[in-house]
Amino acid sequence: MIRTIVYTDEPMLAHGLAGVFSTEAGFDFRECPNLDAVRQSAAEADVLLMQLNSEVTFAVLSELRRSAPQCKIVLWVNAVSTELAFQAMNLGIRGILRRTLGADLIIKCLQRVHQGELWFEKALTDSFLMSTRIPLTRREGQLVVLLSQGMKNKEIAAQLLITEGTVKVYLSKLFQKVGVKDRFELALHGLKNLTAEYGQAAQVPESLAHVPALRALVFDRPRATRSVDQQPEL
């Protein structure tokens, strides 16, 4: 028996899924109408099917992975980018399922995931082969987050408790490491990855200890290293 819980904020959708699972042998189905119910039930579940919405951030998924490591999570999405899929796989998400797929494929996906397999459509796995993942240190990840919010070097320095000169050094090294030509391009890529990882642009809190940090930048195509004779905008 596969103990399955489903989270969606659409009651009619949940009702339809309940009907699907009621006719399928081998599943013990339970609906969770909110994230608090998910947190309480995940430790007792084998598979968790989660509709991806504004409340389901990567911070929430990380929390669930820590509190219920045996529960295999499948994201249920309208659309998915390479960045989101790559970040999800890196986090330990076992599958990404499009909501446009039929009931038979939903059942098949959950069965396969329960058996220990991954469920990522071929178009996504092909895009992984063409993409580039650039890991970031915590300080680099924080700098990219702050830069993505339009902060100037002086403001970034104040948030990270470092000098403006140190910010410029970090930026120069990041341009070379990531293969971008200026701060605007780096900020755009940072914002795109932030949306994939956090669900929305992360807000900078007052406490430095809680400034979020991107763990990596993911690009949907190979990155070319910036020529050393280019003069970036710091």
Residues 124, 103: Cα–Cα separation, whole Å: 21
| Cα(4)–Cα(28) distance, integer angstroms | 6
Tokens 């971008």 correspond to what residue?
Answer: 180
Write down the pLDDT at residue 95.
Answer: 92
What pLDDT does 75 receive? 93
Q: Which domains does the chain have, with CATH numbers?
A: 2-130 (3.40.50.2300), 132-219 (1.10.10.10)
pTM, two decimals, is 0.62
Give which of 145, 143, 160, 162 is closest to 234, Cα–Cα: 143
Output the six-digit token pair for 215: 């763990």
pLDDT at site 209: 44
Grade residue 206 by pLDDT with cuts at 50, 70 and 90.
Answer: very low
| DSSP assignment of 50-82 | EE--TT--HHHHHHHHHH-TTSEEEEEES---H
Q: Under 8 Å CB-to-CB from 83, ≥6 apart: which residues? A: 192, 193, 196, 218, 220
Query: Looking at residue 212, what is its pLDDT?
Result: 64
Q: Across the chain, what does the average pLDDT equal? A: 82
- Rounded to whole angstroms, the Cα distance separating 203 from 205 reads 6
Q: So what's the pLDDT on residue 23?
A: 82
pLDDT in tens, 75-92: 998 877 777 777 787 788
Q: How many CB atoms lie within 10 A of CB 222?
A: 9
Q: Does the pLDDT of residue 11 top 80, yes or no? A: yes
Contacts of residue 138, Cβ cutoff 8 Å, sequence gap at least 6:
213
